């Protein structure tokens, strides 16, 4: 049986064990592909479609078994989707933060289907058979018998929020709340308590293929009823704290424990459990949903890492839609990032494969493209609209749909070194001898550097005026002022050393970079004269170099040779390290990330691909701290110590997002008290500590401005 693995560093290094406020300066780098958690959900169409939602960016649809995904959000007013359901009539329902929406054309268009529901979020959708659908907006259960056109409140009584509902084969309704199970035999007209256990929390009830009803409670207890909820038996199978319980179409029960690697399953009515093969791998520690697709393949959703699918024989599992880069990429050592002008993103790892994002880098989708295994000096760049380009030593690949599909361009026979799309749409291809030019997206090519003689091209860049510079062998510059059509050798002074990169800034500034050293040379006159530009820079090797729309210059090193990012706000005259915001628990003891690529994205903002995910640079001038405006006054917890309960209170001077979590001394989250937008003013929320043993815990109140950590004691 697999055991939970916890990391002591999670809470103590991030939050700091103090009782005082932590004034949080606005970090320069902000994680793009990370939120606290995702509300992943999945649904299956009757024509082979797969629908997924991540709880942040809406619904995505795949019509080819999960190989490619497309956003499907037209008409979906709120894209925070918590649950989905595809009914027998081919209608897709989405439970959002703004009620229920329905699509009658397989997610091509959405319309609101919330009449009768209270305003606010709906977290759970469940089928009642035929056209009956149940929605749980919080405290009560609502039912619709006409495809969501009208919802009616059906109960049950009580004051605790409802967590789940199931329908037995004979139509009996079983509803779970925090500590009570309710039963109705007349479609919700009347309810009876069928099981109650104070100070416990029941998971949503489920029904297996034999008609047995199951739920789970605190500390690994499984409850089952063979008579549709009239009587219940409690089992103690030795599991940890169960986070999800599901019944598969194969007759097995499946379960996952909080913060424990892998899944377990049972085929004897929850009495004994065995490990699910291939489940002890990335994307299995925070499983919140388990289902089976129409082909009988197990599907799991992980709060942090996405949606996974198992092979029919459980020999392996694969990511269908993923969030984080660090677990999906075979290695980050030589990974490259490309961003098109329209904002499409893709990451190319060292080996075969590619990952793309069409929601600004929030979620990442594996793509089944196959590139050559021997890359040599590979280059990966984005272009106009949704175009992207990959070049290896013997081939050029082009995508015009944001990296979803690729084709090999009929490039001339040569050994290629680089590729550069220009502002006009012209494409330049560098080789060991020449620069080739195409004005029809790689269909035809012309050699354009005959007058300058054969040169091995190292890199090509274009400045804001449209002039194009090519760094070639013997540390020489070729310059074109007519969109790469004709080229001249520029006689440059102060230009020496083995330069490996070239970049352009504003007003004709040119930067040449020596990979080892480091040595950065800068020119303010279009490459005529160069000066050394290294003051304040210390890494021995630069892995990436770029400029943003503000004229700032970014240089990055890999972690094993003093990593992180250096920024110059004075055109390379001086540099300073800028890694604020990079640190996260993934780094463990390394406080400087390995940066594999720096790419200017839409609006000129800088993106850094690191060994722990993708980050975006702040868009305000270097050195300005916006966090000093309207700080939050984070409050207190009282009483402390407490027996039956305590109250967490905080005060805001402006409307903003507040996150209130409770952790044990090992850094494990034991309760989530609040996570959402709160208006200016004072707010309070009770915490009973129900189900928790006596001892010490930490309450963390966090906003964008400040955070505070309190130690509390339950007696």
**Residues 498 and 506 sit within 8 Å (Cβ to Cβ):** no
Nearest to 303 by CA among 668, 590, 38: 38
Which residues have C-beta within 8 Å of that of residue 56, sequence separation ≥ 6? 35, 38, 39, 79, 80, 362, 363
Q: Which helix (H) or strand (E) holds 472?
A: strand 468-472
Question: In the prediction, which pLDDT does 73 show?
Answer: 92
**Residues 381 and 428 sit within 8 Å (Cβ to Cβ):** no
Residue 52 CA to residue 43 CA, distance in Å, equals 7
In this prediction, residues 309-334 reach a mean pLDDT of 76
Residue 585 CA to residue 663 CA, distance in Å, equals 16
**Residues 162 and 176 sit within 8 Å (Cβ to Cβ):** yes
Strand partners, 213: 207, 225
Per-residue burial over 224-235, b if 16 or more Cβ lie within 10 Å, else e, is bbeebbeebeeb
In this prediction, residues 504-518 reach a mean pLDDT of 81
**Residues 632 and 578 sit within 8 Å (Cβ to Cβ):** no
Judge whether residue 89 has pLDDT over 80: yes
257 DSSP 8-state letter: E
User: In the chain, how many H helices and how many E strands?
Assistant: 2, 64
Percent of the chain with pLDDT over 90: 45
Q: Per residue in 311-323, pLDDT tens?
A: 999 999 888 888 7
Question: In the prediction, which pLDDT does 167 show?
Answer: 95
In this prediction, residues 240-267 reach a mean pLDDT of 92
Question: In the prediction, which pLDDT does 150 show?
Answer: 96
Structure token digits, residue 363 = 């979620």
Residue 445: pLDDT band by 50, 70, 90 thresholds? very high
Structure token digits, residue 395 = 């081939």
Least confident range from 82-91, 229-238, 350-359, 529-538: namely: 350-359
Q: Per residue in 167-194, pLDDT tens?
A: 999 999 999 988 899 999 999 999 999 9
Q: Per residue in 382-394, pLDDT tens?
A: 998 889 999 988 8
Tokens 């609040």 belong to 674
Bond into 518 cis (ω within 30): yes
Question: In the prediction, which pLDDT does 654 show?
Answer: 73
Q: Which helix (H) or strand (E) holds 457?
A: strand 457-462
Q: Which of residues 203 and 13 earns the better pLDDT score?
A: 203
Strand partners, 322: 306, 364
Mean pLDDT (the chain, rounded): 84
In this prediction, residues 38-59 reach a mean pLDDT of 92
Least confident range from 415-419, 510-514, 555-559, 691-695: namely: 555-559
Residue 82 CA to residue 95 CA, distance in Å, equals 6
Judge whether residue 436 has pLDDT over 90: yes
Q: Per residue in 518-541, pLDDT tens?
A: 789 999 888 889 988 888 887 667
**Residues 130 and 124 sit within 8 Å (Cβ to Cβ):** no
Percent of the chain with pLDDT over 70: 87
Q: What angle is formed at CA 307 by the lines to CA 667 and CA 50, rounded to 5 degrees?
A: 155
Residue 202 CA to residue 211 CA, distance in Å, equals 19
Least confident range from 19-33, 149-163, 230-244: namely: 19-33
Residue 608 CA to residue 567 CA, distance in Å, equals 12
In this prediction, residues 97-109 reach a mean pLDDT of 95
Judge whether residue 264 has pLDDT over 80: yes
CA 170 from chain center: how many Å? 41
Question: In the prediction, which pLDDT does 294 show?
Answer: 95
**Residues 225 and 231 sit within 8 Å (Cβ to Cβ):** yes
- Global pTM reads 0.72
Q: Which helix (H) or strand (E) holds 519?
A: strand 519-523
Nearest to 503 by CA among 596, 434, 593, 599: 599
Judge whether residue 569 has pLDDT over 80: yes
Judge whether residue 630 has pLDDT over 50: no
- The H-assigned helical ranges of 401-552 are none
Q: Within 13 A of 554's CA, how many CA atoms are on the CB side?
A: 31
Residue 633: pLDDT band by 50, 70, 90 thresholds? low
Judge whether residue 43 has pLDDT over 80: yes
In this prediction, residues 332-357 reach a mean pLDDT of 83
Judge whether residue 665 has pLDDT over 80: no
Residue 328: pLDDT band by 50, 70, 90 thresholds? low
DSSP string, 138-159: SSSEEEESSTTS--EEEE--SS
Question: In the prediction, which pLDDT does 254 show?
Answer: 97
Residue 591: pLDDT band by 50, 70, 90 thresholds? low
CA 114 from chain center: how many Å? 29
Residue 326: pLDDT band by 50, 70, 90 thresholds? low
Judge whether residue 428 has pLDDT over 50: yes
In this prediction, residues 620-627 reach a mean pLDDT of 36
Judge whether residue 22 has pLDDT over 50: no
Judge whether residue 350 has pLDDT over 50: yes
């Amino acid at each position: 049986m697999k055991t939970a693995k916890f990391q002591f560093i999670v809470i103590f290094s991030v939050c700091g064990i103090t009782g005082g406020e932590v004034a949080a300066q606005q970090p320069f780098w902000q994680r793009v592909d990370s939120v606290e958690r995702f509300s992943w959900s999945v649904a299956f169409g009757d024509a082979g479609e797969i629908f997924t939602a991540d709880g942040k960016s809406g619904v995505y649809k795949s019509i080819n078994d999960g190989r490619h995904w497309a956003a499907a959000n037209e008409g979906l007013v709120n894209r925070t989707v918590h649950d989905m359901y595809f009914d027998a009539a081919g209608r897709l329902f989405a439970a959002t933060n703004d009620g229920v929406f329905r699509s009658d054309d397989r997610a091509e268009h959405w319309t609101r289907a919330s009449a009768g529901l209270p305003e606010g979020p709906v977290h759970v959708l469940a089928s009642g058979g035929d056209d009956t659908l149940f929605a749980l907006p919080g405290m009560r259960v609502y039912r619709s018998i006409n495809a969501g056109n009208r919802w009616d409140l059906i109960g049950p009584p009580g004051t605790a929020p409802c967590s789940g509902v199931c329908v037995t084969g004979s139509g009996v309704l079983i509803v779970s709340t925090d500590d009570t199970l309710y039963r109705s035999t007349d479609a919700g007209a009347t309810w009876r308590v069928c099981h109650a256990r104070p100070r416990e929390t029941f998971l949503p009830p489920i029904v297996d293929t034999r008609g047995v009803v199951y739920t789970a409670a605190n500390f690994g207890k499984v409850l089952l009823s063979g008579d549709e909820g009239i009587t219940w038996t409690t089992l103690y199978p030795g599991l940890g704290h169960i986070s999800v319980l599901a019944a598969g179409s194969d007759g097995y029960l499946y379960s996952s424990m909080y913060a424990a690697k892998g899944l377990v399953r049972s085929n004897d009515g929850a009495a004994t459990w065995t490990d699910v093969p291939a489940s002890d791998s990335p994307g299995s520690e925070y499983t919140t949903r388990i289902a089976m697709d129409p082909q009988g393949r197990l599907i799991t959703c992980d709060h942090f890492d996405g949606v996974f699918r198992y092979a029919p024989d459980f020999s392996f599992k694969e990511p269908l839609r993923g969030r984080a880069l660090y677990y999906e990429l075979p290695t980050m050592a030589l990974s490259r990032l490309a961003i098109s002008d329209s904002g499409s993103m893709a990451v190319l790892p060292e080996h075969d494969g590619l990952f793309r994002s069409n929601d600004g880098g929030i979620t990442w989708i594996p793509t089944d493209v196959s590139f050559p295994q021997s890359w040599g000096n590979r280059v990966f760049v984005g272009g106009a609209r949704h175009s992207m380009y990959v070049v290896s030593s013997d081939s050029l690949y082009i995508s015009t749909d944001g990296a979803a599909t690729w084709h090999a361009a009929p490039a001339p026979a040569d050994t290629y070194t680089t590729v550069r799309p220009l502002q006009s749409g012209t494409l330049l291809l560098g080789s060991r001898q020449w620069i080739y030019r195409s004005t029809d997206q790689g269909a035809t090519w012309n050699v354009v550097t005959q007058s300058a003689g054969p040169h091995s091209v190292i890199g090509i860049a274009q400045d804001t005026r449209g002039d194009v510079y090519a760094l070639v062998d013997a540390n020489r510059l070729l310059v074109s002022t007519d969109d790469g059509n004709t080229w001249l050798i520029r006689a440059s002074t102060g230009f020496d050393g083995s330069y490996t990169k070239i970049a352009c800034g504003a007003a004709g500034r040119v930067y040449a970079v020596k990979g080892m050293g480091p040595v950065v040379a800068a020119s303010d006159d279009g490459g005529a004269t160069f000066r050394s530009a290294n003051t304040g820079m210390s890494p021995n090797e630069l892995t990436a170099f770029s400029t943003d729309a503000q004229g700032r210059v970014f240089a990055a090193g890999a972690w094993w040779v003093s990593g992180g990012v250096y920024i110059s706000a004075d055109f390379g005259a001086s540099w300073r390290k800028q890694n604020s915001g990079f640190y996260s628990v993934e780094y463990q003891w390394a406080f400087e990330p390995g940066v594999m690529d720096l790419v200017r994205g839409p609006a000129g903002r800088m993106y850094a691909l690191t060994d722990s995910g993708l980050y975006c640079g702040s868009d305000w001038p270097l050195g300005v701290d916006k966090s000093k405006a309207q700080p939050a006054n984070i409050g207190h917890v009282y009483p402390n110590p407490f027996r039956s309960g305590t109250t967490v209170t905080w005060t805001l001077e402006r409307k903003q997002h507040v996150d209130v979590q409770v952790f044990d001394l090992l850094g494990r989250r034991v309760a989530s008290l609040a996570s959402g937008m709160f208006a200016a003013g004072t707010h309070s929320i009770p915490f009973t500590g129900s189900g928790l043993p006596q001892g010490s815990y930490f309450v963390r109140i966090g906003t964008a401005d400040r955070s505070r950590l309190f130690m509390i004691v339950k007696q």
